[in-house]
Structure 1
Amino acid sequence: MSGDGDTAAITQAVPTGWRARVQVRPRLARVRVSAIAILQITVAAAGAWAFAHYVTGHAAPLLAATVTISSLGLVRDARPRRVLETVVGMLVGILVAEGFVLVVGPGWWQLALALGVTLVVARFLSPYPPFAIMAGVQACIVMSLPATQPFARLADGIVGGIAALVVTALIPRNPRREEARDGHAVFAAADSSARAIVQGLRRGDALRAGRGLDKARAIAPRIDEWRASLDSGLAVAGFSPWLRPQRAELQRHHAVLQAMDFATRNLRVVARRAVYLCEDGQRRPVPADILAELMRASELVGESLDDISLQVPAREALRAVAVRLDPARLLPDGSLGEQNLITALRPLAVDLLTATGMPPAEARALLPRV
């Protein structure tokens, strides 16, 4: 059995037949992740329809429900500003189409003209492509439905938009769960990359170190996902009275994200230098051990996303490594390339220390002068 930490077991169950095509667990996971969004959409759409029907007296307030459903959606980014942009886009489409129905009436060429004008107006108003698409869809719906009283459907759309914003505030999607999952994914990806680099250095294996470089390059999209979910969470927490207490914790996570963005970039630098060094097939245990120590401390930083008390032990573990990062002392007989690798670990240590809440200047001051 292989001793590689990132190698899957050779013998494992392989699903066949209908089990290979129908996997229930990921389907249930999708439903669980979308549970709050489904509740939001259901409550808002039903409430908007009921208000438009029973309060404003519209017999079939279709747009009250469709505007609500389309503006909320099941997307990850549920920040109030994005919901409002979508609502405004749909209202623009309804308004333009209502004007065409009033002036020229329904019909295929009237629909084409109304759709074209709607898309032009929407693209002029917003650079956000879905804004124009939502406006165009609503314009087509208005042009296709039989007219009742002038601009009644615009009123339905406004009701639906208000309902979407109200449930965004009163039944908010939990921003912590999603952004924490994205944050842990970043730390897990960095750890996997560093493990491969460490193995490459210990074995003098350029292929293994190259695999670590590939993994380091693949972290960037995970950083972007974490940033998107954090920005969305901060916006929702600022808008919803129930989630406002979470804002401070989300801001702390945002500081960790910024530090990890720099740390993963420096990890790519370390990986590139490791690949170059491993080309000669020589084992280099000293930089391998230093990188392994840094990443063990990084695991504590990742765990501190859920437990802030772990920031202190993570900081102390990183401090213990940072104060030793003197290339000449660690590798007095090492080559220039080996000493350069130790030098590349210095900014990585500073970034990880910053992720524990230490000011950057204080983190840099811990490094020995070279």
Structure 2
Amino acid sequence: MPGLPFPETTETLRRRLKEPVVEQTVRATVAATLSYAVAVHLSSEPAPLTAPLTALLVVQVTLYSTLTTSIRRVNSVVVGVLIAVGFSSVVGLSWWSLALIILASLTIGRFVRVDEFVNEVAISAMLVLGVTRLASQAWDRVLETLIGAGVGLLFNFLFAPPVWVDTAGESIEDLARRARHLLVRIGEELGGHTPVAQAAARLHEARRLDQAIADVDGALRQAEDSLRLNPRITEGVVSRVMLRTGLDTLEICVVVIRVLARSLTDLAKRRDEGEELFPAEVAVALEELLGHLGGALVSFAVLVTTQVSRNAEEAEDRLAAELAAAWASRENVAQLLLRRVQEHPKAWQLHGSLLAEIDRILDELDLDHRSRRLMEELDRASVANRERFTRLGRLRGFFRGERLRPAALKRRPQAAGRSNA
């Protein structure tokens, strides 16, 4: 058809197919179907629907979440079956025994830490308690759960889920661009007579931007999970630390932008009727400063989300240039505001707070500050991994019968020598 934007439509469709929701839908459907086919041959039930139900629940968009969900799901079913078997040997099925088994299942489910599958403990117990062939039904339910969890795990191991780092990176860059857009709009409205309602509108926009951080954090947590236990990734810790520290920095900057919008709103409320928010010279300088500040935010987000070293160097150069221009503009604005305060000292606190908030953003985006933060987080991650491997080594030694630690062996001769003395 003439006029149909076919290339754009194709690109949009390709982008939609790569979304986590679509990926999850396809993978869960295939895994559930496979688990049902396996359960039909292994289970004595005519319709072993527990297996595909388990597969639907355990197959997640990341391998790590699939593994943890499988463990919780199997744990909840086994606990529910054991509760039902224990109750069936004492009482039959009645309204009061049903209430008692539900209460016991929900209580025990909290202690065995099955998280969102607490209700599954009670459901398994009720389904098993309500059948006549108790032992057979209990075994079939456990078997189907194991089949569903096993097929889901095997499916994600053989067809590893994609790494969602790019999706998280796009969310971080989108957050930075929205912050830049807000700063540019604030800068454009500083000249002339700025109504209080207009300044307050920018404050509400800054608050919405602050609330959007939760969505970006969710995308980042999904990306972090996709890096864990993924055979495609060799440097997952570095990627996780870079993205997480980058989002933390942007979160601080967004909070400071909200405070800056609050200061401008208070300044608009305190000025006299018809008075300009800033003189023309100060407004132009502030607009230039906020423009450089917004550009630095976007350059920082690109630097955080860039994986290739050459592109990272280019992003770092752009960020350094934007920061240098922003610091130069900041010094110019500081001199202009100082003269303004000397002539009209009644709003000197708000003028000073504007500079302090801008300084805070520039300090957070500083390259040296970024490098120090990365090194600290990488050292912390390295220490955590070392402690984890140390605990695993001690556990293996315990099962091998190595009850005495090496440090204790080193101290023993010294202690013996002191006792002989």
Amino acid of the structure 1 residue aligned with 2:169:
A
1:125-136 matched pairs, under 5 angstroms: 125-126=112-113, 128=115, 130-136=116-122
Whole-Å separation in 2 of the counterparts to 1:232 and 1:312? 30
Query: Aligned in 2, Cα 1:140/1:34: closer, same or farther, shift over 3 Å?
Result: farther
Amino acid of the structure 1 residue aligned with 2:33:
A
Contact 1:193 1:212 in 2 (8 A): yes
Offset of residue 156 of structure 1: 2.0
> What is aligned with 2:173?
184
Offset of residue 37 of structure 1: 1.0
> What is aligned with 2:356?
343
> What is aligned with 1:9?
none
Contact 1:269 1:344 in 2 (8 A): yes
Contact 1:185 1:222 in 2 (8 A): no
- Pair 1:241-2:231 in alignment: yes
> What is aligned with 1:117?
104
Contact 1:111 1:140 in 2 (8 A): yes
Offset of residue 216 of structure 1: 1.6
1:41-56 matched pairs, under 5 angstroms: 41-55=28-42
Amino acid of the structure 2 residue aligned with 1:278:
A
Match of 2:185 among 192, 196, 200: 196
Offset of residue 57 of structure 1: 5.8
- Pair 1:295-2:290 in alignment: no
Match of 2:337 among 321, 328, 331: 331
> What is aligned with 2:277?
282
Whole-Å separation in 2 of the counterparts to 1:83 and 1:230? 22
Query: Aligned in 2, Cα 1:192/1:95: closer, same or farther, shift over 3 Å?
Result: farther
Contact 1:45 1:64 in 2 (8 A): yes
Match of 2:255 among 265, 273, 276: 265
Q: Gaps spanning 5+ residues in structure 2: where?
A: 1-11, 342-347, 375-421
Offset of residue 144 of structure 1: 5.1
Whole-Å separation in 2 of the counterparts to 1:146 and 1:175? 47
Whole-Å separation in 2 of the counterparts to 1:163 and 1:95? 23
Match of 1:64 among 51, 68, 88: 51
SS of residue paired to 1:151: helix
Whole-Å separation in 2 of the counterparts to 1:113 and 1:31? 47
Count of aligned positions: 334
Query: Aligned in 2, Cα 1:47/1:344: closer, same or farther, shift over 3 Å?
Result: same
Amino acid of the structure 2 residue aligned with 1:121:
I
Quick one: percent identity of the two aligned structures? 18
> What is aligned with 1:314?
319
Offset of residue 102 of structure 1: 6.0
Q: Write 1 or 2 for the structure with the bigger share of helix.
A: 2
> What is aligned with 2:214?
224
Whole-Å separation in 2 of the counterparts to 1:178 and 1:153? 38
Amino acid of the structure 2 residue aligned with 1:342:
L
Whole-Å separation in 2 of the counterparts to 1:122 and 1:239? 27
1:300-342 CA distances to partner (integer Å, 9 max, x unpaired)? 2334425534233123312331355346435341222324312
1:127-177 CA distances to partner (integer Å, 9 max, x unpaired)? 94x232333344444445664614331122123223333344443244224
Whole-Å separation in 2 of the counterparts to 1:301 and 1:355? 13
Q: CA RMSD in A?
A: 3.6
Match of 1:175 among 144, 159, 164: 164
Whole-Å separation in 2 of the counterparts to 1:127 and 1:61? 23
> What is aligned with 1:81?
68
Whole-Å separation in 2 of the counterparts to 1:62 and 1:127? 21
> What is aligned with 2:152?
164
Contact 1:259 1:354 in 2 (8 A): no
Whole-Å separation in 1 of the counterparts to 2:40 and 2:217? 41
> What is aligned with 2:24?
37
> What is aligned with 2:241?
251
Offset of residue 114 of structure 1: 2.6
